[in-house]
Structure 1
Amino acid sequence: METTTTRQALINLIQKHLNITSESTLEKVLELLEDEEDIRDARVEIADARIHGTISWDEYKKEIA
């Protein structure tokens, strides 16, 4: 229950700031969020490569040709 209350409080705070923040600031926040998502995706790909291995550059070029 505490998690739900904390989450709702954060959502309310974000909503309040969204209404008073400039568009350029919102764009910067969006860029940061996208960067974070890219970082998470890269970590997943690295973990997958460690488990399943990778292919050589020559093999990759053959596959996309």
Structure 2
Amino acid sequence: MIADEREQLIKDINVLLHQAYDSTLVEIHALLKKIDDVDDEEDLKAIKEAREDIRINGTVSWDEIQNEIRNEISKDVA
């Protein structure tokens, strides 16, 4: 999303929020909190999966990455 689009969307949401009933605001807050909690859970899951992958498969050294890049460049040039 482009910054200008984001700003406009926030402005539009604010207009609607100011027009909403208090009970609706409470529901919106609960939904946003739930979305935030789910995002946090997904982030934690991804971190755990990455750590498990490193534990199982090990890590890749910087030298290995550089060699792989050089090999890919050589293949593209040839």
TM, length-normalised to structure 1: 0.64
Q: Which residue of 2 aligns with 1:48?
A: 47
Shift of 1:4: 3.0
Aligned counterparts, 1:24-43, within 5 A: 24-43=23-42
Q: Which runs of 5+ in 1 are unaligned?
A: 54-65
The structure with the larger Rg is 2
Count of aligned residue pairs for this structure pair: 52
> Could you tell me how far apart the structure 2 residues matched to 1:18 and 1:35 are?
18
Shift of 1:5: 2.7
Letter in 1 for 2:44: E
Q: Which residue of 1 aligns with 2:4?
A: 5
Q: Which runs of 5+ in 2 are unaligned?
A: 53-78
TM, length-normalised to structure 2: 0.56
Tell me: higher relative CO, structure 1 or 2? Use CA pairs within 8 A at least 6 residues apart: 1
